[in-house]
Structure 1
Amino acid sequence: MAPPATPSATEASRPLRAAVIGAGMIAEVHRRAIHAAGGDVVGVLASSPARSLEVARRWGTTPYEDLPSLLADGSVDVVHLCTPNHTHADYTLQALTAGKHVVCEKPLGVSVEEAERLAAAAERSGLTATVPFVYRYHPLVREIRRRRLDGEFGRWHLLHGSYLQDWMLSPEASGWRVDPARGGASRAFADIGSHWCDLVQWVSGETFTELTAASSVAVGERPAADAASFSAHSADGPRTRVETEDCATLLLRTQRGLLASLTVSQVSAGRKNRLWFELDGSRGSAVFDQENPETIWLGAEHESRVVHRDPHHGSAEQRRLSVLPAGHPQGYADCFAAFVSDTYAAIGGAAPEGLPTFADGLRAARLVDAFLSSSRTGDWTKVKHA
């Protein structure tokens, strides 16, 4: 494995140069975030040379013919991996071996063993390796976390919430995520439930150590399509049996015995991307709704109040991430840009608060593994920890 290079003063002052692997919806999000973070997109590798050329022309960058040619490009500092899940382990290991910093879309692999290998490889390499658990970057999420650290909520009694979407509601919706060979054995929980678990653990300071889970498939057959997420599909053509869950419910227990509950769905009509949590403590409660991220609800025994995002008030991290004046809504794209900016700061030697790394990706993979086991048996299942 190539050792990480020590940048010269000139190199440290120039923009970081990124190559993007993948050309779908999330790759476009990464591209915009790279630019917002002050980086340069120097090349793209898509599913074929023709597709790479098409996307490179649209992005105004260089197309790569294959992965070896990308990794051999000495101008590339960091690789953003935005491909189907089953490719993550192989591509990431190759990138780390080539001495590239890596931003890998979750999951780190389609099994806990793959995630363990990647986390270990990243640690050995000394390179920066991050996973886009970007909901940590909502300013008011940081505000809740800071208030928890300051003791405002007291001792937690209960953690609960949901993550609901409707993009799989239509029986004609499909895509590579439905195929367990490419997306993994879990879909809804691994895709979005993992975000909820990461966020709630990070904000609350709790660690989930065991769970019991159930899952269901709402639509038994879908088009055998190889299409992008959140896109329309034709009713014509062959259909395939669905093996990955549309819905899941979990009861979780933390290291100190605290209970938590989570409902996950990709078939809840009208819910586009509703990550919602409530944290209930002995002195107060806090509620965050990702679809309405400009306010949080704070509850106490004799009062409740709504707190607005404000770059001039609140915690230092809330103010740092508030890049627009109050009343000018920020959202998902701003979170992603902040995450990439902090990743690039880490590459430069900084240690940004709350940056999600491969260690967090491994923690998520172990939760998915426990979820799959429990949903098969119905038993309480321990979450593996290092």
Structure 2
Amino acid sequence: MTTDVTATGVGTIRSGFLGGGFMAQVHSRAARAAGASTAVLASSSLERAFTAAQDLGIDRAASDIAELLAEDVDIVHVCTPNATHAALALAVIEAGVHVICEKPLATTVADAQRLADAAEDRGVVAAVPFVYRYHPMVREARARVAAGEIGELITVDCGYLQDWMLLPGDDDWRVTSADGGPSRAFADIGSHLCDLLEFVAGERIVRLTARTRRVYEERGNRPVTNEDAVSILVEMSSGAIGTLLVSQMAAGRKNALTLELHGAQASIRFDQERPEELWVGQREGSQHLFRDPQTAHPGVARFSVVPAGHAQGYQDAFNGFVADAYAAIRGETPDGLPTFADGVRAAQLTEAVLLAAREERWVDTAPTG
């Protein structure tokens, strides 16, 4: 039996959650913002699930995934450690339930593709939270690039820098391949960067070479089995070339996801730590553009949920993503919703980065499908 925690919420979609950590907090807030009933949560034990459900205001606690699925939920949010994603997401899909699975979707390309195929076969909505797509100024950048306003793409200069693993005593379950997978820095945050680059540029990374670095061989009395930082050279399908730097050991950088595209006519830059603006560079001068639904490109205004001058941020972007996933459940086709196909792409790029670093060579990454 499940355990009552709070009064039943009101909503047309009943949402379940696997995991009770930080990401479950973000997912459950977004589900409520989308008008769903946050119905049930399961964690590694019933006791932990009960505590998390109380903390997050979720109606009931379940002991495991089977008990959660018995609650007649419409969608399950998988917010558990990386290595568990594939098995849990597959169980949800096989039950005929829609799913949002945290990234990395799986720790191998084969498992990620298996999930995407299963979701297609069962006809369920299957989404991955590449939520930075949902910053309004990311959509503005994408619209301007698509409209040809920066001209032919020449180079890209991108990065994703954090500092939460800077010190020798900093530890996390992600440092072991058993829980986090064979890649940490790239799979965790570099995947966001590459997704955003391909999304905004409207083209694919077709070749890359990479170098990885592991600074400390041990954290928390455990051997570290994946990388702290990655530098990548990329070639885009248009012939544009670029650099990507990904690190979880950049002192003072908390969540510095930056995307700068240089075209033949103009450059454009987005900085996730300053999400309300875009920098547009031209030879005769540069300018900062600020979010304003009144002047946004067609289709972009819907991502602005408050008037100009009222700051939006990460949770707003996450809310937009979940709202689109739930809209897809209702039969709509939201533009730019990241699906399991995008999760497969991230897994392909992760394997390519690790291979390129290991063998010190270029690796082709053009999609085959």
Structure 1-normalised TM-score? 0.91
Contact 2:82 2:103 in 1 (8 A): yes
Letter in 2 for 1:343: A
Contact 1:153 1:282 in 2 (8 A): yes
Contact 1:209 1:382 in 2 (8 A): yes
Q: Which residue of 2 aligns with 1:180?
A: 177
Question: Aligned to 1:255, which of 237, 240, 253?
Answer: 237
Q: Which residue of 1 aligns with 2:61?
A: 63
Q: Which residue of 2 aligns with 1:360?
A: 342
Partners of 1:201 and 1:258 lie apart in 2 by 12
After superposition, what is the alpha-carbon deviation per residue over 1:262-293, rounded to whole angstroms, capped at 9, x for unaligned?
A: 00000001000000011000111100000001
Contact 1:165 1:272 in 2 (8 A): yes
Q: Which residue of 1 aligns with 2:301?
A: 319
Partners of 2:323 and 2:58 lie apart in 1 by 21
Other structure's SS at 1:340 match: helix
Letter in 2 for 1:110: T
Partners of 1:350 and 1:310 lie apart in 2 by 26
CA drift of 1:255 comes to 2.3
Partners of 1:209 and 1:133 lie apart in 2 by 20
Partners of 1:18 and 1:200 lie apart in 2 by 31
Partners of 1:374 and 1:356 lie apart in 2 by 26
Q: Which residue of 1 aligns with 2:105?
A: 108
Q: Which residue of 2 aligns with 1:228?
A: none
1:244 aligns with 2:226: yes
Letter in 2 for 1:327: G
Q: Measured at CA, do residues 60 and 213 of structure 1 come closer, stay the same or move farther in structure 2, by a change above 3 Å?
A: closer
Report sequence identity in percent: 47
Contact 1:165 1:267 in 2 (8 A): yes
Q: CA RMSD in A?
A: 1.2
Other structure's SS at 2:159 match: strand
Partners of 1:184 and 1:382 lie apart in 2 by 22
Question: Aligned to 2:314, which of 326, 329, 332?
Answer: 332
CA drift of 1:349 comes to 0.5
Letter in 1 for 2:257: L
Other structure's SS at 1:316 match: coil
After superposition, what is the alpha-carbon deviation per residue over 1:2-36, rounded to whole angstroms, capped at 9, x for unaligned?
A: xxxxxxxxxxx952110000000011000111011
Contact 2:44 2:63 in 1 (8 A): no
The equivalences for 1:1-386 within 5 A come to 15-58=12-55, 59-74=57-72, 76-223=73-220, 239-383=221-365, 385-386=368-369
Contact 1:139 1:317 in 2 (8 A): no
Say how many residue pairs are matched: 358
Partners of 2:262 and 2:230 lie apart in 1 by 22
Partners of 2:37 and 2:309 lie apart in 1 by 31
Contact 1:86 1:109 in 2 (8 A): yes
Contact 1:143 1:317 in 2 (8 A): no
Letter in 2 for 1:52: A
